[in-house]
Amino acid sequence: MSTAHEAGGIKVERVTFAVGGMKLDLRYRVTDIEKAKKVFTNGTALSLIDQATGKILEVPNMPKIGKLRQVPNQTEAWRVYWIMFDNPGALVKKGGKVTLVIGDIKIKDIIVE
């Protein structure tokens, strides 16, 4: 991935399928701890937008474990973290483009592997 997939102190490494295509597994690396703090704040809205349809994909909230995203006690620069997103009906396909939205930050044109 190029630096085009970097903003707000994070760099998207990849988006792949999980759970038979029903979830999308986004991996990102922290490049600037101060800028990336909003990613790790529970109140910050996180979503993926399927660029082909405009459909907003949310982070699943499981009753016993909460949202399917990694929230470390101590953020480490250059460590890879993960966030899972619902992909209802396997809407997003391999090679499709998505936009990651973190609060007011948007990282566009991420290709799903």
pLDDT at 18: 94
pLDDT at 44: 78
3-111 CATH = 2.60.40
User: Using alpha carbons only, what angle is made at residue 57 by residues 54 and 63, rounded to the nearest 5 degrees?
Assistant: 160
pLDDT at 90: 93
Full-model pTM: 0.85
pLDDT at 42: 67
Distance of alpha carbon 64 from alpha carbon 74, whole angstroms: 23
Per-residue pLDDT of the chain (113 residues; tens, 9 = 90+): 445 799 988 899 999 999 999 999 999 998 988 888 777 676 778 899 999 999 999 988 767 765 656 566 676 778 888 899 999 999 999 999 999 998 888 999 999 99
Query: Where do the structural domains in the chain lie, given as residue ranges?
Result: 3-111
Distance of alpha carbon 57 from alpha carbon 59, whole angstroms: 7
